[in-house]
Amino acid sequence: MCAIKKIRSLSVVFPCYNDSMTIGNLIETADKAAKTVAEKHEIIVVNDGSTDTSPKILADLQKKYPYLEVITHARNMGYGATIWDGLKAAKNEYIFYTDGDAQYDPSEMTKLVEELGEHTVLVNGYKTTRHDAFYRKFIGTSYNLFVKLLFNVKLRDVDCDFRLIKKEMLDKIEVTEHGGTMCLEMVKRMEKLGGEIREVPVSHYERKYGKSQFFKIKNLLRVFVDIPKLFFMLGR
């Protein structure tokens, strides 16, 4: 059996908005996986103004995991701002992030690490099968095709938030969009700077608890307002 590839250090980042039913298990799973692929690691959770029991759960988990850092937003700032705050707080060589709703399995971060090459700056997952309601599949597929054509993004699955990023690359960019288009801007800025980007297939699961922040009418409308601004800004 081949030995698992190891990196020097890893930061694991999760957003958390009313994810009390999933965040604890995600942290436990991510902690085990991180120990297999990194010599040292930290876990960062950004609590985006949760109104459920997430703050208490995270406080209790900090007693079990001394390397768990919790960043708290006094009010709900939205998905993009939450992810970006977590990424900028990360201190290690590579940063892995995924969602806090358990639609992805953090243990599959090992696939991303295995795919790393000497010059790889981003390893992005792509969903083999999307387990969502029909309308979410339709909106997600339409958005993915639209932004790939408009921005000439090379990734096959732009909205798959299962990523391993080299911190050195992340430190070279700054995003201006903190809404739903933040990840699109981040990926496109990395593509423009160069560096090798690789992709691997990952599993996607049905959401069993909570509600998506992205699939709210006001957030969807904001995305389609922000896309033209982002297009002209990146064009300049």
Residue 101 has a pLDDT of 93
Indicate the pTM of the whole model: 0.91
Which tens digits make up the pLDDT trace of 15-50? 999 999 999 999 999 999 999 999 999 999 999 999
Kindly state the tokens that stand for 232.
Answer: 């002209």
Three-state SS string over the chain comes to CCCCCCEEEEEEEEEECCCCCCHHHHHHHHHHHHHHHEEEEEEEEEEECCCCCHHHHHHHHHHHCCCEEEEEECCCCCHHHHHHHHHHHCCCCEEEEECCCCCCCHHHHHHHHHHCCCCEEEEEEEECCCCCCHHHHHHHHHHHHHHHHHHCCCCCCCCCCEEEEEHHHHCCCCCCCCCCCHHHHHHHHHHHHCCEEEEEEECCCCCCCCCCCCCCHHHHHHHHHHHHHHHHHHHC
Cα separation, 69 vs 59, in Å, equals 10
Of 5-9, 30-34, 89-93, which range is least confident? 5-9
Residue of 115 and 78 predicted with greater confidence: 115
Q: Give the mean model confidence (pLDDT) for residues 102-128.
A: 96
Place of tokens 């059996």: 1
Q: Do 207 and 132 touch, CB atoms closer than 8 A?
A: yes
Domains present along the chain, CATH in parentheses: 7-235 (3.90.550.10)
Of 62-71, 90-99, 215-224, which range is least confident? 215-224
Residue 210 has a pLDDT of 59
Share of the chain above pLDDT 90, in %: 68
Residue 1 has a pLDDT of 44
Q: What are 120's strand-pairing partners?
A: 196
Is it the case that residue 219 has pLDDT exceeding 70?
A: no
Q: Do 92 and 34 touch, CB atoms closer than 8 A?
A: no
Cα separation, 192 vs 182, in Å, equals 15
Share of the chain above pLDDT 70, in %: 91
Is it the case that residue 61 has pLDDT exceeding 60?
A: yes
Residue 122 has a pLDDT of 97
State the sign of the Cα–Cα–Cα–Cα dihedral 7, 107, 15, 206: positive
Residue 134, class by beta-carbon neighbours within 10 Å (0-12 exposed, 13-18 middle, 19+ buried)? exposed
Which tens digits make up the pLDDT trace of 120-147? 999 999 999 876 677 677 777 888 888 8
Residue 113 has a pLDDT of 97
Q: Give the mean model confidence (pLDDT) for residues 97-121.
A: 96
Which tens digits make up the pLDDT trace of 183-217? 999 999 999 998 899 999 999 998 886 565 555 56
